[in-house]
Amino acid sequence: MENTFDILVIGSGPGGYVAAIKGAQGGKKVALVEKSELGGICLNWGCIPTKALLKSAELLDDLKHAAQFGIQTGAVSADFAKIMNRSRDVARQNSNGVQFLMKKHKVEVLKGQAKILAKGLVEITTPEGGKQTVKAGAVIVATGASPRQFPQYPIDGKTFVTYRQTLALEAQPKKLLIIGAGAIGVEFAYFFNALGTEVHLVEMLPQLLPIEDEEIAKGLLASFKKQGIHCYVGTQVAETKAGKSGVAARLVDAQKQETKITVDQVLVAVGMVPNSKDLGLEAAGVKTDERSFIQVNGHQETSVQGVYAIGDVAGRQLLAHKASAEAEAAVAHILGLAVQGVDYGQIPGCTYCQPQVASIGFTEKACREKKLDFKIGRFPFSASGKARAIGHTEGLVKLIFGAKYGELLGAHILGCDATELLAELGLAMKLEATYEEVMGTVHAHPTLSESVMEAAADSHGLSPHI
């Protein structure tokens, strides 16, 4: 059977389904190919279900500290099975939402595995093994990425797991080793620790969340240690050995000091690899880099005209909102609209542990490496009336401005609702706002967002509250 479409999208994550909708809104006949659940990894096994888990952990933590707010609750405990089931329910609701959007925008959903045969020609193998050939004026590859596999950590779904197996656990581990302290590792460390698991979090690089600002990372490390999470930075997992009593691990730090621990389970959260295999890319002439990420230009077009790649499979920041932004850029190019591509310097990064971490733009270290002339403003949440009122005084807002023109170079937040507070600073950076404009914007009182205004003022010694 042969079908013809203006745009064929392969993969239905936040990049793929947004591309499909944008194409349909542009008046094109669009098909979306998906071999698994609609919504991709993010909605089904990533962003959304993990946030559901984290909400349960936050609520449990709040209840444990309810007495300081004058609320007597008695003993509280977590039902691990119900927490996990709620997470899966939330994921299903979001996946159903994508299905509704496809119907609303008249996007045809094709179930199966796609393979590019040539420019504008794609073969789809259905779950039943049947094959159909689809013609398309433009093809958008949005197949995402998967956890990196290591031979020394054999993923079996029981002893050694990735984030995906973790989201389907039936029993809570009593002791857990997490290898890798990027966003995935840090979020699961917070979640399991809050539920009472003994957590050991190991990061080979010198700080938690290695891509974040050093000062923010140090603050998170201090908070995690206070919460009881065993953190090892600048440390490698030299050896793991599975046995009847669990997994024995030997950790070695930069000073060659060893720590030996035994855990029930090991969560491997080190790196991702693009889902670029078995797509027929090489035969079709689509170029990839040395790490197998698809190479694209500023409009997300690959080495083959009419074939685009967006999201994790196209490299750079492996973030859902970056994928959606690239989807809009790719479709705009297909539609012939004169818009620029994605500005990767303005992609926000968010980590949803508690305290949360959120950032955009340059870190202080990056500014120094680039030899920029800059000023830094800080405002601790301990000086915020709203933060005291809600009992979340950990962390700070840290803003970096250019010294000559006062433009925002970077924003870094550690604390309650940091991921929500960041949007204002993303807009400020987009509009090239200066410290004076951020400082001069009247912020409602009392709010946590006042800390943004105060940090801007502090960059020039003008904050009235510190």
Output the CA–CA distances (angstroms, integers) from residue 54 to 57, 188, 291, in the order listed.
5, 8, 32
Question: Residues for the chain: how many in total?
Answer: 466
| Cα gap 122→139, rounded to integer Å | 9
Per the residue annotation, which of 200, 445, 460, 465 is the catalytic one? 445
Q: Which residue type, as a one-letter code, is found at position 202? A: V
∠ at Cα 115 (119, 342), nearest 5°? Answer: 65
| Cα gap 407→434, rounded to integer Å | 4
Is 445 one of the annotated active-site residues of the chain? yes
Q: Is the separation of the CB atoms in 8 and 138 below 8 Å?
A: yes
Residue in 299, 301, 302 with CA at minimum distance from that of residue 337:
299
Residues that are catalytic: 445
